[in-house]
Amino acid sequence: DQQVKQNSPSLSVQEGRISILNCDYTNSMFDYFLWYKKYPAEGPTFLISISSIKDKNEDGRFTVFLNKSAKHLSLHIVPSQPGDSAVYFCAASARNTNAGKSTFGDGTTLTVKP
Amino acid sequence: DAGVTQSPTHLIKTRGQHVTLRCSPISGHKSVSWYQQVLGQGPQFIFQYYEKEERGRGNFPDRFSARQFPNYSSELNVNALLLGDSALYLCASSLGQYNEQFFGPGTRLTVL
């Protein structure tokens, strides 16, 4: 039973356009959500997070939206750059019960074409 | 500043052997977590240690164990290796138990 799902294994966008990566979760105990970016031969790099008390968080070109009723979150990258090409992981945790455990999706490979 | 470091980078073992993986957290970080990443999947949580105590454990068999030392570095031990243990093992450190985690580059374990 996969509690965090990223249903699109891959996404290709043109440089300068918007990239939208989606993530769904099933565990209603999750109250903290994170996005990581991973390049080959490197560990995941933290990008942005959002607490369940918010519905939006921005950091530069990256914005995460959370829809708790739909148990859905998305990462928007605007504008997309070729250097953004990587695997993006969505992760969730239940900070009040097991804060150190993040449950990850299987990732979406983003390719930004020049 | 040095990030999270892991050793060794790569490792090849045979079935039934034992392996020890090592992790040094970012200076000042007191929490270390271990994850297993199988090809094509996201990282799977194995353990979290904070202030040298186990604070969380994932759905892994007792063949997997870990510990954290007084300097906050950590070891992950896997006994009686199986072919299915072949994976990238990631270590992540954080300031405290509830903070964002910073990952190391991982140790690639191959079991033959």
Question: What are the residues of chain A with a beta carbon less than 8 Å away from any beta carbon of chain B?
Answer: 4, 34, 36, 41-46, 49, 89, 91, 95, 98-107
Residue A60: both structure tokens together: 């530069």
pLDDT at B69 over 90: yes
Give me the mean pLDDT over the A50-63 stretch.
96
Could you tell me if B53 lies within 8 Å of chain A, comparing CB atoms? no
Asked if omega into B43 is within 30° of 0 (cis), the reply is no
Please provide the DSSP assignment of A43-97 as one string: --EEEEEEETT-SEEEETTEEEEEETTTTEEEEEESS--GGG-EEEEEEEE-HHH
- Say if residues B42 and A3 touch (Cβ distance below 8 Å): no
Query: Which residues from chain B sit within 8 angstroms of residue A36, using beta carbons?
Result: 103
Instruction: Name the pLDDT band for B95 (thresholds 50, 70, 90).
Output: confident
Distance from B12 to chain A by nearest Cα, in Å?
17
Query: Which residues from chain A sit within 8 angstroms of residue B104, using beta carbons?
Result: 43
Q: Do B48 and A103 touch (CB under 8 A)?
A: no
Q: Do B103 and A43 touch (CB under 8 A)?
A: yes
Give pLDDT tens digits for B27-55.
999 999 999 999 889 999 999 999 999 98
Give me the mean pLDDT over the B87-97 stretch.
91
pLDDT at B99 over 80: no
pLDDT at B85 over 80: yes
From its phi and psi, is residue B72 left (phi > 0), alpha (psi between -120 and 50) or beta?
Answer: left
